[in-house]
Chains A and B, each alone.
Chain A
Amino acid sequence: SAVISQKPSRDICQRGTSLTIQCQVDSQVTMMFWYRQQPGQSLTLIATANQGSEATYESGFVIDKFPISRPNLTFSTLTVSNLSPEDSSIYLCSVDLSDGYGYTFGSGTRLTVV
């Protein structure tokens, strides 16, 4: 299965600032997915990032708030902008190598906004 390195693992940020989360995969993948897990909740897809094109955002998520970069087939970043306490969540990246191991997830970034 794929190995995903996600950084940072956690951060505490001031409201109004931004946090950029990095996701590095040890294999080339076409699509990378970014999810949000609010406290006590399930996972919700934020956007799908394909290399060389703009990310596709799910309903309720916009590029100005969650800009995504996908410069190559092994790397992506998610920025959470203009932070508010409501953005306190775990953010996870994911890939699907179609190798029989299902979708692989990073270890997550726990964001607390104060």
Chain B
Amino acid sequence: AQSVAQPEDQVNVAEGNPLTVKCTYSVSGNPYLFWYVQYPNRGLQFLLKYITGDNLVKGSYGFEAEFNKSQTSFHLKKPSALVSDSALYFCAVRDYTAAGNKLTFGGGTRVLVKP
């Protein structure tokens, strides 16, 4: 089975500083990787995905992620964090089952951006 891990439960960053949220993956074959964000009392919002192609993927709200095959990582980044980026971030991988292609999520990382 495919899996992803988010080693940090929480990341604190000052507004205007770079933001990085870490994700590592364990898959057989080529990985399909995703990042989602969850704001309080709201559902999950899609940020970006990697399927193939360029290792640097650009997504919504100024976020990007870098796929690194040798380090099996897919870290989410933003050059300059905003207070409004404070939320819960999930890394996910597409997992192949007999029932369908489901998403398997990491444990989540809470991001707190301080003014």
Residue of B nearest to A57 (CB): B99
Whether A103 is near chain B, meaning CB under 8 Å from some CB there, is yes
- Report which of A30, A50, A105 forms a contact with B44, defined as CB distance below 8 A: A105
Whether A22 is near chain B, meaning CB under 8 Å from some CB there, is no
CA distance A98 to B42 in the complex (A): 23
Assuming the A-B contacts A102-B34, A102-B46, A106-B43, are A45 and B108 also in contact, with contact meaning beta carbons closer than 8 angstroms in the complex? no
Q: Mark B12-48, 1 if CB is under 8 A from A, else 0.
A: 0000000000000000000000101000011111100
Which residues of the other chain, B, contact A92 by a CB distance below 8 angstroms?
A: 43-44
Residue of A nearest to B45 (CB): A105
Q: Mark A13-45, 1 if CB is under 8 A from B, else 0.
A: 000000000000000001101000000011111
Whether B105 is near chain A, meaning CB under 8 Å from some CB there, is yes
Asked if A105 contacts B43 (CB within 8 A), the reply is yes
Asked if B34 contacts A96 (CB within 8 A), the reply is no
Asked if A101 contacts B46 (CB within 8 A), the reply is yes
Interface residues of A (CB under 8 A from B): 1, 6, 30-31, 33, 41-45, 48, 50, 56, 92, 94, 96, 101-108, 110
Interface residues of B (CB under 8 A from A): 34, 36, 41-46, 49, 90, 97-108
The 7 closest A-B pairs by CB, nearest first: A56-B99, A107-B43, A48-B99, A102-B46, A105-B44, A31-B100, A43-B105
